[in-house]
Amino acid sequence: MRRPLVAGNWKMNGTRAGVKDLVAGILSGLGGFDRASNAEVVVCPPFVFLADVAAQLAGSPIALGAQNGSAEKPGAFTGEIAVEMLVEFGCRYVIIGHSERRALYGEGDAMVALKWAAVDAAGLTPILCVGERLEEREAGNTEEVVARQLVSVMDAVGVEAIGRCIIAYEPVWAIGTGRTASPQQAQEVHAFIRAQIAARSPNVAEQVRILYGGSVKGSNAAELFAMPDVDGGLIGGASINAREFITICAAA
Ligand code: PEP
């Protein structure tokens, strides 16, 4: 039985005061959640807010994650954040390979695999994002694209290591567009991802959690999460609204 997980990707949003209110709202809304029987909940603020959010979340069941991390060891890499720093600030998860980083910052499959390995080596859990662009889906290439993104990491780190991460299927055409994949579309790709892993290790495939991301809201979360291979969600826009985020967590 895979425990559902909901992770909020706040992207480059928030002010110090606004983040404080957001966390307070999430904490009060999830007050009844307990560690064992409910969905696991993770929030991924911008780096500069990590310390504040870590302090606010102390003693709560909500875990802290980062939106990115460097593949390099600490050193002369201006503007980068080492995974060791994320550990020190209480992070447990790191989003890797988000489509915005692939598209806007040129992170290709090789870089994603290096980052994945650095995050894992630091004892953190990578949330590995994969997903096709609209033109790739329309050309019938969804499986090919998703398989390439997944296999490049599996080849680099080995299938057993994949069992230590979370995978997020995020069709690029659904991210921030308000256009959600239908539950059936999500299930098809999630089942495909699981089958790709099962071809190397049925055990890992059975245990690995695969989240759906792309315009998940309070109103559509339950039907997406009801799919057998959808183990929760990676939530962007709706995660910076406490009420929406709590509704999504409750659905999981
Ligand atoms: C995301 O950026 O990971 C995401 C899923 O965004 P949104 O929920 O806003 O589509």
Residue 188 annotated among the catalytic residues of the structure: no
Q: Which atom of ligand 1 is nearest to the CA of 174?
A: 10
What separation in Å is there between the alpha carbon of 98 and the centre of ligand 1? 9
Can you list the pairs that 111-115 forms with residues at least 24 positions away whose Cβ atoms lie under 8 Å? Answer: 111/71, 112/149, 112/152, 112/153, 113/152, 113/153, 113/155, 113/156, 113/157, 114/71, 114/156, 115/68, 115/69, 115/70, 115/71
5-241, CATH topology level:
TIM Barrel (3.20.20)
**pLDDT 10s digit of each residue in the chain, 252 long?**
899 999 999 999 999 999 999 999 999 998 866 665 689 999 999 999 999 999 999 999 999 999 999 999 999 999 999 999 999 999 999 999 999 999 999 999 999 999 999 999 999 999 999 999 999 999 999 999 999 999 999 999 999 999 999 999 999 999 999 899 999 999 999 999 999 999 999 999 999 999 999 999 999 999 999 999 999 999 999 999 999 999 999 999
Is residue 83 within 6 Å of ligand 1 at its C-beta? no
Choice among 40, 170, 190, 244 that is catalytic = 170
Is residue 176 within 6 Å of ligand 1 at its C-beta? yes
Question: Domain map of the chain by residue range?
Answer: 5-241
Choice among 98, 100, 107, 190 that is catalytic = 98
Residue 98 annotated among the catalytic residues of the structure: yes
What separation in Å is there between the alpha carbon of 54 and the centre of ligand 1? 22
What separation in Å is there between the alpha carbon of 248 and the centre of ligand 1? 13
CA distance 45 to 63: 11
What separation in Å is there between the alpha carbon of 75 and the centre of ligand 1? 31
In the chain, DSSP assigns E strands to: 5-9, 40-44, 63-66, 93-96, 125-130, 166-169, 209-213, 232-235
